[in-house]
Amino acid sequence: MMRFIAAAMIEARQLSKVFTGPKRTKIHAVENVSFRCEPGQIYGLLGANGAGKTTTLRILATLLQPTAGTASVAGFDITREAQKVRANVGFLSTATALYDRLTARETIEYFGRLNGLEGEPLRARANELMQALGIVEFAERRCDKLSTGMKQKVSIARTLVHDPPVMIFDEPTNGLDVMAARTIVGFIRDCRTRGKTVIFSSHVMSEVEKLCDVIGIIHHGKLLIEGRLEELRERTKQPDLEEIFVQTVEQREEAVKDK
């Protein structure tokens, strides 16, 4: 239904973020970034470390406030309606850890409660997620006793507990072993199948190539190019994503130098 009401579930309009670094230096982490993400699509933000991916996604998840520009997520403004944005977003990154001393079930229920669920609906939702993700057998175990893969599953359940229409993944597979990474990738695909709007950041070309419907290449805080993989191939005359990425970044560097 949302598809008909709001075409763009995520719309970033000239987002900029300036950090104050050591000795009052200004660091332009994100500069004038605009893009749109549609329901049922995976938008991939591709960039090297420090390119501004995490900052962009943190702004969308309302963890950070933009210095300039704005964005709307699920129809809500990220600065004026941050609370409503968070209620409509599932945010997962390698930095979003779980509470060691809570069990898997308690973790899921805790975030369910914070999202306004209570009593029987909360229980039902937690059970449903635990069944779907295969958490049931370790549901009563404390999170510090779980393996990385198990933790990932609990984290996924945590992001899904309020069934958000928008999913934001910040380098979700970073530092994970193959099996744990596969769980995440499978889960991201699943989100698309269910019509969710997904934005996803990575510096791993193959992952982006396999998963994403639309790809945006971000470098030094600027969105250099975006489009479907075929479009990018056409525009750059390069066969695969790695070549596309390298050429785009190099052209940009030269352009900056010439100035």
Contact (CB, 8 A) for 32 and 15? yes
Angle value at C-alpha 134, between 87 and 210, nearest 5 degrees: 70
**Dihedral sign for Cα atoms in the order 4, 188, 14, 236:** negative
Does the footprint of other proteins cover residue 201 (CB under 8 A)?
no
Residue among 167, 148, 151 at smallest CA distance from 159: 167
H-run or E-run covering 44: strand 42-46
Does the footprint of other proteins cover residue 106 (CB under 8 A)?
yes
| C-alpha span between 112 and 125 (Å, rounded) | 8
Are β-strands 214-219 and 76-77 bridged in parallel, bridged antiparallel, or unpaired?
Answer: unpaired
Does the footprint of other proteins cover residue 49 (CB under 8 A)?
no
Does the footprint of other proteins cover residue 63 (CB under 8 A)?
yes
Minimum distance, C-beta of residue 85 to other proteins, in the bound complex (Å) = 8
Size of the site for other proteins (CB under 8 A): 33
Minimum distance, C-beta of residue 157 to other proteins, in the bound complex (Å) = 13
Residue among 207, 145, 128 at smallest CA distance from 172: 207
Nearer to other proteins by Cβ, of 6 and 102: the residue is 102
Nearer to other proteins by Cβ, of 121 and 251: the residue is 121
Does the footprint of other proteins cover residue 65 (CB under 8 A)?
yes
Nearer to other proteins by Cβ, of 35 and 91: the residue is 91
Nearer to other proteins by Cβ, of 24 and 259: the residue is 24
Q: Which residues bind other proteins (CB under 8 A)?
A: 19-20, 58, 61-65, 83-84, 86-87, 89, 91, 93, 95-102, 106, 110-111, 113-116, 142, 158, 162
